[in-house]
Chain A
Amino acid sequence: MSESGFMVRAHGVHKSFGLLEVLKGIDLDVACGETVVLLGPSGSGKSTFLRCLNRLEPIDRGSIVVDGQQIGYRRRGGRLVELPERRIALQRRRIGMVFQQFNLYPHMTVLENVVEAPIGIHGEPRASAEAHARELLGRVGLADKAGEYPRRLSGGQQQRVAIARALAIRPRLLLFDEPTSALDPELVGEVLAVMKDLARQGMTMVVVTHEIGFAREAAHRVVFMDGGVVVEQGRPDAVLGAPREARTRAFLNRFL
């Protein structure tokens, strides 16, 4: 477990796609129960960094420890050994992820979507998995949609199902990549409300978003990235209210 009190410890993370260096040495620690919002202009590497946290992307240099485990590797006799995909899958089992495009399983009902991982991956009995799923659907305000297929739901409803699906694995860490960017403006609020609840209840979350309001209200810390480095970070009122760096100011001015 993370006896250090940190859920995520990322140090000197470098990542290139071919010749393009996208992450140029990112350091980021996330405390247990903390909600961190990643802000930054398009192409600054926010999604890439998020995907490195559960090793959807391998990193080139540095180290990432999630919940006490170095993600993608293990130690054997003092040497670091790369894990095969099958073993990395085990490390990912308590890291939930919510995607911009929801990525629900379209051929399954809402309830089946939510219980798929608990039953199929975590070996939970169906009865308790379904009870838990119904409780989670109630929490995101969709108790009556359990039997519906995802494509018949609005975008906001789909994203809330996706959040319930991520919660169903009893995650230690939740990653959000622009969860409201594909939504019509009037549907953004319902998704953010669910996320604010989670933040209040002490879920550890890393959220990439352009919703400054959410960052101000729900985040414990705001991290501003640009050009593959962390430019500035701190409490929301400090970074958003009185940014020290010119790049941060320039970015935030666009939202005024």
Chain B
Amino acid sequence: MSAASEEPADVTEAHRPFPWGTVLSWAVVAIVAAQAALAVATNRNFEWEVVGEWFFHPSILAGLEVTLGLTVVSMSLGIVLGVLLAVARLARSRLIGGLAGLYIWFFRGTPLLVQLIFWYNLATLFPHIDLGLPFGPTLARFRTNDIITPLTAAVAGLALNEGAYMAEVVRGGLLSVDAGQWETVRAFGMGRARALWRIILPQAMRAIVPPTGNQLISMIKSTSLVSVIAMADLLYSAQAVYNRTFQVIPLLLVAVLWYLLITSLLNVFQSMIERHYARGEVDRAARAAPAAPEA
């Protein structure tokens, strides 16, 4: 009560107490991290010189290329498929919505590994692929083995599976957009396709991008499954080397470091995209950064 008698002072005169707690916790973390880094760096068993030797080795880089190529192509196809499926699920037609639901149910409900093996062995189930009218004449006939190579089987397996997951990501995004926006585009007489493309999807992107980043990172690692159908991805290439040289740990480190490097680049890229779609927002963007390491 005694303070009540004093004149209230201007806040610019206030001085901030030194943040001892913050400084101390940063110091503790820094010391522990330095210690751990030193322990890893100086541990002879990690064989860092072997890591350096193989990091840019052509066979590793070839594997990296397969991993990146598969990821980019499958993810792009998966996103397109996901958008189409999500829109189909929200369609007024029960038939279209039901079919999309069935697709998502099946591809999310079965292991990716099995799907990959299935596509790779498609020729044993269907030796020929016919294009034609249902129950009508055949217009074109292909030998399945000409179409299904390890590469196309890998892309088909990864993209079709990814499409099912992306469909739910996109659907969640579409549902997050204020219903008033749909009402407005209808009142203006805007067609459904244009409304989605111009008005609804751009707003949905804010909710779509973060989980898509998740999907992308998990896709990079899922690509390692393609080694079962004779594709030499990054992890497989590293394994191929240590099967000869028995330098298991350093070669796994090579792969791990590459995966981390790609993931870090993606995080930077993701924050750029998020900033783009946060335009028009009032200062919520700043706090919505992905889980990137502090710069």
Interface residues of A (CB under 8 A from B): 54, 56, 85-86, 88-93, 95, 97, 99, 101, 103, 105-109, 116-117, 120-121, 149-152, 169
| Set B92, B178, B190, B203: member contacting A117, Cβ < 8 A | B190
- A sample of 8 inter-chain contacts (CB < 8 A) reads A85-B92, A95-B187, A95-B189, A103-B184, A108-B280, A120-B198, A149-B280, A151-B280
Asked whether B280 lies within 8 Å of A90 as measured between CB atoms, the reply is: no
A-chain residues with CB within 8 Å of residue B178 when the two chains form the complex: 103
Nearest residue (CB) in B for A86 is: B191
Cβ–Cβ contact B203 & A106, under 8 A: yes
- Across the interface, B187 reaches (CB within 8 A) one of A54, A85, A152, namely A54
B180 CB contact (under 8 Å) in A86, A93, A103, A150? A103
* Of B184, B190, B281, the contact of A121 (CB 8 Å cutoff): B190
> A120–B190 contact, CB under 8 A?
yes
Chain B nearest CB, measured from A3 CB (Å) = 23
Known: A91-B189, A105-B203, A108-B280. 14 other contacts (CB 8 A): A56-B183, A86-B191, A89-B186, A89-B191, A92-B186, A97-B184, A103-B180, A107-B202, A107-B203, A117-B189, A117-B190, A121-B189, A151-B280, A151-B281
Q: Could you give, for residues 159-192 of chain B, a 1 whenever the CB lies within 8 Å of some chain A CB and a 0 otherwise?
A: 0000000000000000000101101101111111
Pairs A-B, 8 closest by C-beta atoms: A149-B280, A92-B189, A89-B189, A93-B189, A97-B187, A103-B184, A103-B180, A117-B188
B103 at the interface (CB under 8 A from A): no
Secondary structure at the B interface, as helix, strand, loop or mixed, is helix
Smallest CB–CB gap between B180 and chain A, Å?
A: 4
Would B189 and A152 count as touching, CB distance under 8 A? no
State which of A85, A86, A99, A107 has its C-beta within 8 Å of the C-beta of B277: A107
Q: Which B residues lie within 8 Å of A121 (CB)?
A: 188-191, 194
Number of A-B contacts (CB under 8 A): 69
Nearest to B199 among chain A residues (CB) is: A105
Assembled-state Cα–Cα distance A65/B196 (Å): 29
B1 interface residue per 8 A CB criterion: no
Distance (whole angstroms) from the CB of A30 to the closest CB of chain B: 18
Known contacts A101-B180, A120-B194, A93 near B199 by CB under 8 Å: no
A103 and B282: CB pair below 8 A?
no
In the complex, chain B residues whose CB is within 8 Å of the CB of A90: 189
Nearest chain B residue, comparing its CB with the CB of A95: B187
Q: What is the bound-complex CA distance between A169 and B181, given in angstroms? A: 17
- List B contacts of A91 (CB < 8 A): 189
Contact status B198-A116, CB under 8 Å: yes
B279 in the interface (beta carbon within 8 A): yes
Expressed in whole angstroms, the Cα–Cα distance for A109 and B199 within the complex equals: 12
The docked-state distance in angstroms from the alpha carbon of A149 to that of B284 is 14
Measured between C-beta atoms, what is the minimum distance from B190 to chain A in Å? 6
- Among A56, A89, A93: residue with most chain B CB under 10 A: A89
Which residue of B186, B198, B277, B281 is within 8 Å of A56 (Cβ)?
B186
| A67 smallest CB distance to B (angstroms) | 13
Q: Which residues from A are CB-within-8-Å of B92? A: 85
